[in-house]
């Protein structure tokens, strides 16, 4: 193949592959009411709401586990909703972190980190990050504060979805 055809071939391949690339995840500011509506609108059998922040070291360490959880269980009906506790003005930084992590889902950024925001998830939540809330058919069924492993997430998800706990 001559050089001109080779260049055209590889240019075409690059354009084709670029068109297949997943979208860059978005970081979108949202009010507590908008976040509550997003959670309530989920029609998935199990919804995992995870509150995190780029400035939170345990959140950053745990993030790859969440991505593994999403990849493993989204086909089984898990909906992962990420909520960043970063400042809304830091949306670009949050978006960059999501891209660095190859995160397959977008993240909301709360516009109001308040007691009202905390209590909309659970009266038991003290506000510590990271925090995870599991909803089955819109009802809160499990929650925890602090970092967890993939295995701990998997066990909880299987239990809530009615599967075994291996």
For the segment 4-49, what is each residue's pLDDT rounded down to a tens digit?
443 334 344 434 444 444 567 889 999 989 998 999 999 999 999 9
Find all residues with CB under 8 Å of 138, minimum gap 6, and list them.
40, 42
Distance CA 141, CA 46 (A): 10
Max CA separation in the chain (angstroms): 69
Identify which of 51-60, 134-143, 154-163 has the greatest average pLDDT: 51-60
Domains of the chain: 24-160 (3.40.30.10)
Q: What is the pLDDT of residue 133?
A: 96
User: Structure pTM?
Assistant: 0.83
On average, the pLDDT of the chain sits at 86
- Closest residue by Cα to residue 28 from 139, 126, 141, 106: 106
pLDDT tier, 163 (very low <50, low <70, confident <90, very high otherwise): low
H helix count then E strand count, the chain:
6, 6
What is the arithmetic mean of pLDDT over 73-94?
Answer: 95
Phi, psi of 12 (to 5 degrees): -65, -40
């Amino acid at each position: 193949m001559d050089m001109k055809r080779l260049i055209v071939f590889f240019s075409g391949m690059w354009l084709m592959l670029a068109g297949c690339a997943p979208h860059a995840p978005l970081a979108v500011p949202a009010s507590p009411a908008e976040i509550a509506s997003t959670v309530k609108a989920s029609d998935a059998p199990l919804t995992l709401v995870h509150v995190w922040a780029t400035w939170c070291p345990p959140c950053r360490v745990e993030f790859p586990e969440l991505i593994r959880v999403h990849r493993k269980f989204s086909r089984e009906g898990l909906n992962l909703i990420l909520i960043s506790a970063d400042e809304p003005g830091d949306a670009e930084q949050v978006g960059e972190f999501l891209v660095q992590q190859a995160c397959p889902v977008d993240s909301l950024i709360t516009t109001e980190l308040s007691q009202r925001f905390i209590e909309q998830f659970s009266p038991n939540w003290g506000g510590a990050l990271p925090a995870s809330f599991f909803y089955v058919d819109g009802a809160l069924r499990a929650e925890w504060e602090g970092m967890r492993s993939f295995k701990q997430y998997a066990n909880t998800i299987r239990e809530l979805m009615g599967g075994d706990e291996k």
